[in-house]
Protein backbone atom coordinates (compact mmCIF):
# COMPACT_ATOMS: atom_id res chain seq x y z
CA UNK A 1 0.00 0.00 0.00
CA UNK A 2 2.81 2.29 0.96
CA UNK A 3 4.49 1.25 -2.21
CA UNK A 4 1.48 2.24 -4.13
CA UNK A 5 1.34 5.48 -2.29
CA UNK A 6 4.98 5.99 -3.07
CA UNK A 7 4.39 5.22 -6.63
CA UNK A 8 1.39 7.45 -6.64
CA UNK A 9 3.38 10.10 -4.88
CA UNK A 10 6.18 9.65 -7.30
CA UNK A 11 3.74 9.76 -10.14
CA UNK A 12 2.08 12.73 -8.70
CA UNK A 13 5.41 14.34 -8.11
CA UNK A 14 6.51 13.34 -11.56
CA UNK A 15 3.28 14.54 -13.00
CA UNK A 16 3.63 17.70 -11.01
CA UNK A 17 7.15 18.17 -12.16
CA UNK A 18 6.10 17.39 -15.67
CA UNK A 19 3.25 19.81 -15.48
CA UNK A 20 5.51 22.27 -13.82
CA UNK A 21 8.09 21.91 -16.53
CA UNK A 22 5.41 21.96 -19.18
CA UNK A 23 3.82 24.90 -17.56
CA UNK A 24 7.18 26.60 -17.29
CA UNK A 25 7.84 25.86 -20.93
CA UNK A 26 4.38 27.14 -21.91
CA UNK A 27 4.83 30.13 -19.66
CA UNK A 28 8.17 30.75 -21.27
CA UNK A 29 6.56 30.45 -24.64
CA UNK A 30 3.76 32.67 -23.50
CA UNK A 31 6.23 35.08 -22.02
CA UNK A 32 8.18 35.01 -25.21
CA UNK A 33 5.01 35.52 -27.14
CA UNK A 34 3.97 38.28 -24.75
CA UNK A 35 7.36 39.94 -25.08
CA UNK A 36 7.22 39.57 -28.82
CA UNK A 37 3.66 40.89 -28.69
CA UNK A 38 4.78 43.79 -26.52
CA UNK A 39 7.66 44.40 -28.88
CA UNK A 40 5.30 44.08 -31.81
CA UNK A 41 2.86 46.39 -30.09
CA UNK A 42 5.66 48.84 -29.41
CA UNK A 43 6.77 48.56 -33.01
CA UNK A 44 3.18 48.92 -34.13
CA UNK A 45 2.72 51.86 -31.73
CA UNK A 46 5.94 53.38 -32.96
CA UNK A 47 4.87 52.78 -36.53
CA UNK A 48 1.44 54.14 -35.67
CA UNK A 49 3.05 57.21 -34.15
CA UNK A 50 5.20 57.56 -37.21
CA UNK A 51 2.20 57.05 -39.46
CA UNK A 52 0.14 59.40 -37.36
CA UNK A 53 2.93 61.97 -37.55
CA UNK A 54 3.21 61.33 -41.26
CA UNK A 55 -0.57 61.60 -41.56
CA UNK A 56 -0.50 64.78 -39.51
CA UNK A 57 2.33 66.08 -41.63
CA UNK A 58 0.44 65.00 -44.72
CA UNK A 59 -2.67 66.74 -43.45
CA UNK A 60 -0.57 69.82 -42.74
CA UNK A 61 0.99 69.62 -46.20
CA UNK A 62 -2.49 69.08 -47.65
CA UNK A 63 -3.80 72.13 -45.77
CA UNK A 64 -0.77 74.06 -46.92
CA UNK A 65 -1.34 72.80 -50.44
CA UNK A 66 -5.00 73.80 -50.20
CA UNK A 67 -3.95 77.22 -48.92
CA UNK A 68 -1.39 77.51 -51.67
CA UNK A 69 -3.93 76.28 -54.19
CA UNK A 70 -6.38 78.91 -52.96
CA UNK A 71 -3.65 81.50 -53.06
CA UNK A 72 -2.68 80.33 -56.54
CA UNK A 73 -6.36 80.46 -57.57
CA UNK A 74 -6.65 83.97 -56.16
CA UNK A 75 -3.36 84.89 -57.81
CA UNK A 76 -4.64 83.52 -61.11
CA UNK A 77 -7.85 85.53 -60.70
CA UNK A 78 -5.81 88.59 -59.81
CA UNK A 79 -3.52 87.95 -62.75
CA UNK A 80 -6.53 87.55 -65.03
CA UNK A 81 -7.93 90.83 -63.70
CA UNK A 82 -4.51 92.42 -64.03
CA UNK A 83 -4.29 90.94 -67.54
CA UNK A 84 -7.62 92.56 -68.45
CA UNK A 85 -6.46 95.81 -66.89
CA UNK A 86 -3.15 95.49 -68.74
CA UNK A 87 -5.01 94.84 -71.98
CA UNK A 88 -7.06 97.99 -71.40
CA UNK A 89 -3.90 99.87 -70.45
CA UNK A 90 -2.17 98.54 -73.56
CA UNK A 91 -5.14 99.64 -75.69
CA UNK A 92 -5.05 103.08 -74.04
CA UNK A 93 -1.30 103.21 -74.53
CA UNK A 94 -1.78 102.27 -78.18
CA UNK A 95 -4.28 105.09 -78.56
CA UNK A 96 -1.94 107.42 -76.66
CA UNK A 97 0.98 106.35 -78.82
CA UNK A 98 -1.15 106.87 -81.92
CA UNK A 99 -2.11 110.34 -80.69
CA UNK A 100 1.50 111.06 -79.82
CA UNK A 101 2.57 109.89 -83.25
CA UNK A 102 0.07 112.31 -84.77
CA UNK A 103 1.32 115.05 -82.44
CA UNK A 104 4.89 114.18 -83.36
CA UNK A 105 3.92 114.41 -87.02
CA UNK A 106 2.40 117.84 -86.38
CA UNK A 107 5.47 118.84 -84.39
CA UNK A 108 7.73 117.59 -87.15
CA UNK A 109 5.75 119.62 -89.66
CA UNK A 110 5.84 122.66 -87.35
CA UNK A 111 9.57 122.12 -86.84
CA UNK A 112 10.04 122.00 -90.58
CA UNK A 113 8.09 125.23 -90.94
CA UNK A 114 10.13 126.78 -88.11
CA UNK A 115 13.36 125.71 -89.80
CA UNK A 116 12.10 127.21 -93.05
CA UNK A 117 11.23 130.43 -91.25
CA UNK A 118 14.61 130.41 -89.52
CA UNK A 119 16.28 129.87 -92.86
CA UNK A 120 14.36 132.82 -94.29
CA UNK A 121 15.33 134.95 -91.28
CA UNK A 122 19.00 134.29 -91.84
CA UNK A 123 21.60 131.58 -91.70
CA UNK A 124 22.87 132.84 -88.34
CA UNK A 125 19.50 132.17 -86.61
CA UNK A 126 19.04 128.78 -84.99
CA UNK A 127 16.77 127.30 -82.34
CA UNK A 128 19.55 127.89 -79.81
CA UNK A 129 19.77 131.64 -80.37
CA UNK A 130 16.15 132.08 -81.45
CA UNK A 131 15.12 133.44 -78.04
CA UNK A 132 17.86 136.08 -78.19
CA UNK A 133 16.88 136.93 -81.76
CA UNK A 134 13.23 137.19 -80.75
CA UNK A 135 14.19 139.47 -77.87
CA UNK A 136 16.29 141.54 -80.28
CA UNK A 137 13.42 141.65 -82.78
CA UNK A 138 11.03 142.60 -79.96
CA UNK A 139 13.38 145.38 -78.88
CA UNK A 140 13.62 146.53 -82.50
CA UNK A 141 9.83 146.38 -82.72
CA UNK A 142 9.48 148.45 -79.56
CA UNK A 143 12.00 150.93 -80.94
CA UNK A 144 10.10 151.12 -84.20
CA UNK A 145 6.81 151.50 -82.34
CA UNK A 146 8.34 154.34 -80.34
CA UNK A 147 9.62 155.84 -83.61
CA UNK A 148 6.17 155.42 -85.17
CA UNK A 149 4.56 157.04 -82.13
CA UNK A 150 7.06 159.88 -82.40
CA UNK A 151 6.30 160.19 -86.11
CA UNK A 152 2.57 160.04 -85.36
CA UNK A 153 3.05 162.87 -82.86
CA UNK A 154 4.98 164.82 -85.47
CA UNK A 155 2.37 164.00 -88.09
CA UNK A 156 -0.36 165.10 -85.69
CA UNK A 157 1.46 168.37 -85.08
CA UNK A 158 2.04 168.73 -88.84
CA UNK A 159 -1.64 168.02 -89.50
CA UNK A 160 -2.63 170.65 -86.96
CA UNK A 161 -0.18 173.07 -88.55
CA UNK A 162 -1.48 172.10 -91.97
CA UNK A 163 -5.05 172.61 -90.81
CA UNK A 164 -4.06 175.97 -89.38
CA UNK A 165 -2.27 176.85 -92.63
CA UNK A 166 -5.27 175.65 -94.62
CA UNK A 167 -7.54 177.78 -92.47
CA UNK A 168 -5.23 180.72 -93.04
CA UNK A 169 -5.11 179.95 -96.77
CA UNK A 170 -8.88 179.62 -96.83
CA UNK A 171 -9.13 182.92 -95.00
CA UNK A 172 -6.73 184.55 -97.44
CA UNK A 173 -8.52 182.99 -100.42
CA UNK A 174 -11.84 184.16 -99.05
CA UNK A 175 -10.37 187.57 -98.45
CA UNK A 176 -8.98 187.57 -101.98
CA UNK A 177 -12.33 186.50 -103.36
CA UNK A 178 -14.09 189.19 -101.37
CA UNK A 179 -11.46 191.71 -102.48
CA UNK A 180 -11.92 190.57 -106.07
CA UNK A 181 -15.66 190.94 -105.65
CA UNK A 182 -15.17 194.42 -104.24
CA UNK A 183 -12.82 195.24 -107.08
CA UNK A 184 -15.38 193.80 -109.47
CA UNK A 185 -18.03 195.95 -107.86
CA UNK A 186 -15.69 198.94 -108.07
CA UNK A 187 -15.36 198.27 -111.77
CA UNK A 188 -19.11 197.92 -112.25
CA UNK A 189 -19.99 200.16 -115.10
CA UNK A 190 -22.96 200.55 -117.39
CA UNK A 191 -24.63 203.13 -119.70
CA UNK A 192 -27.77 205.16 -119.58
CA UNK A 193 -30.34 203.73 -121.97
CA UNK A 194 -33.14 206.27 -121.50
CA UNK A 195 -33.68 209.66 -119.79
CA UNK A 196 -36.89 211.43 -118.67
CA UNK A 197 -35.95 215.01 -117.90
CA UNK A 198 -39.50 215.95 -116.93
CA UNK A 199 -39.84 213.33 -114.26
CA UNK A 200 -36.15 213.45 -113.30
CA UNK A 201 -35.23 209.80 -113.71
CA UNK A 202 -33.29 207.66 -116.12
CA UNK A 203 -32.82 204.00 -117.00
CA UNK A 204 -29.45 202.23 -116.62
CA UNK A 205 -28.71 199.09 -118.70
CA UNK A 206 -27.63 196.97 -115.67
CA UNK A 207 -29.40 195.68 -112.59
CA UNK A 208 -29.12 193.35 -109.62
CA UNK A 209 -27.41 190.75 -111.80
CA UNK A 210 -24.53 193.18 -112.12
CA UNK A 211 -24.40 193.91 -108.37
CA UNK A 212 -26.38 197.17 -108.30
CA UNK A 213 -28.33 197.84 -105.08
CA UNK A 214 -30.61 200.69 -103.92
CA UNK A 215 -27.83 201.81 -101.54
CA UNK A 216 -25.25 202.09 -104.31
CA UNK A 217 -24.50 205.78 -105.13
CA UNK A 218 -23.63 206.22 -108.81
CA UNK A 219 -21.85 208.88 -110.79
CA UNK A 220 -22.25 209.73 -114.48
CA UNK A 221 -19.32 210.40 -116.78
CA UNK A 222 -19.05 211.53 -120.36
CA UNK A 223 -15.81 211.15 -122.20
CA UNK A 224 -14.16 210.30 -118.87
CA UNK A 225 -15.34 213.52 -117.23
CA UNK A 226 -17.71 213.75 -114.24
CA UNK A 227 -21.02 215.35 -115.18
CA UNK A 228 -23.44 214.41 -112.34
CA UNK A 229 -24.86 211.90 -109.81
CA UNK A 230 -27.86 209.54 -109.75
CA UNK A 231 -29.43 207.44 -106.97
CA UNK A 232 -30.96 204.01 -107.74
CA UNK A 233 -34.66 203.84 -106.79
CA UNK A 234 -35.83 200.64 -108.46
CA UNK A 235 -33.60 197.76 -109.43
CA UNK A 236 -34.51 194.89 -111.67
CA UNK A 237 -32.25 192.00 -112.71
CA UNK A 238 -31.15 193.62 -115.97
CA UNK A 239 -31.89 197.32 -115.50
CA UNK A 240 -31.99 200.00 -112.84
CA UNK A 241 -34.25 203.04 -112.48
CA UNK A 242 -32.34 205.92 -110.88
CA UNK A 243 -33.32 209.48 -109.87
CA UNK A 244 -31.29 212.36 -111.26
CA UNK A 245 -29.49 214.54 -108.69
CA UNK A 246 -29.96 217.84 -110.55
CA UNK A 247 -27.89 219.72 -107.94
CA UNK A 248 -24.86 217.67 -108.92
CA UNK A 249 -25.15 218.42 -112.60
CA UNK A 250 -22.71 220.84 -114.16
CA UNK A 251 -24.32 224.05 -115.47
CA UNK A 252 -25.97 223.54 -118.84
CA UNK A 253 -25.43 219.76 -118.79
CA UNK A 254 -28.29 217.38 -119.47
CA UNK A 255 -27.90 213.64 -118.99
CA UNK A 256 -28.54 211.62 -122.11
CA UNK A 257 -28.48 208.02 -123.34
CA UNK A 258 -24.95 206.74 -123.83
CA UNK A 259 -23.50 208.50 -120.77
CA UNK A 260 -21.55 206.02 -118.61
CA UNK A 261 -22.62 205.19 -115.03
CA UNK A 262 -20.26 203.81 -112.33
CA UNK A 263 -19.85 203.61 -108.54
CA UNK A 264 -19.54 206.98 -106.85
CA UNK A 265 -17.38 205.55 -103.96
CA UNK A 266 -15.20 202.51 -104.67
CA UNK A 267 -15.42 199.76 -102.00
CA UNK A 268 -12.46 199.39 -99.69
CA UNK A 269 -10.23 196.50 -100.70
CA distance linking residue 261 with residue 231, whole number of Å: 11
pLDDT computed for residue 14 by the predictor: 66
Q: How far apart are CA 219 and CA 260, in angstroms?
A: 8
- Segment 179-192, tens digit of pLDDT: 444 444 445 789 99
CA distance 163 to 176: 19
What CA–CA distances, in Å, run from 208 to 104, 118, 121, 212, 262?
Answer: 90, 79, 76, 5, 14
CA distance between the termini of the chain: 221
Q: How confident is the model at residue 111 (pLDDT cuts 50, 70, 90)?
A: confident
To the question of pTM greater than 0.75 for the whole model, the response is no
The pLDDT of residue 246 is above 80? yes
Q: What was the pLDDT predicted at 202? A: 95
- The domain 189-263 having CATH identifier 3.50.50: the answer here is no
Instruction: Report pLDDT digits (tens) over 205-243.
Output: 998 888 788 888 899 999 989 999 999 999 999 999 999
CB 153 within 8 A of CB 226: no
Amino acid sequence: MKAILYVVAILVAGGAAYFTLEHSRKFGDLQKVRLETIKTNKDVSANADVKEKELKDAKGELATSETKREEVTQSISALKSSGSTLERDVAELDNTLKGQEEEFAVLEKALGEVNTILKDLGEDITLDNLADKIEQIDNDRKGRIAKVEELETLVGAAEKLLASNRAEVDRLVKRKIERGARIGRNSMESVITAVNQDWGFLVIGAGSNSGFTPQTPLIVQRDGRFIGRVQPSSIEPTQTIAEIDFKSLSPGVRLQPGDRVMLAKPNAN
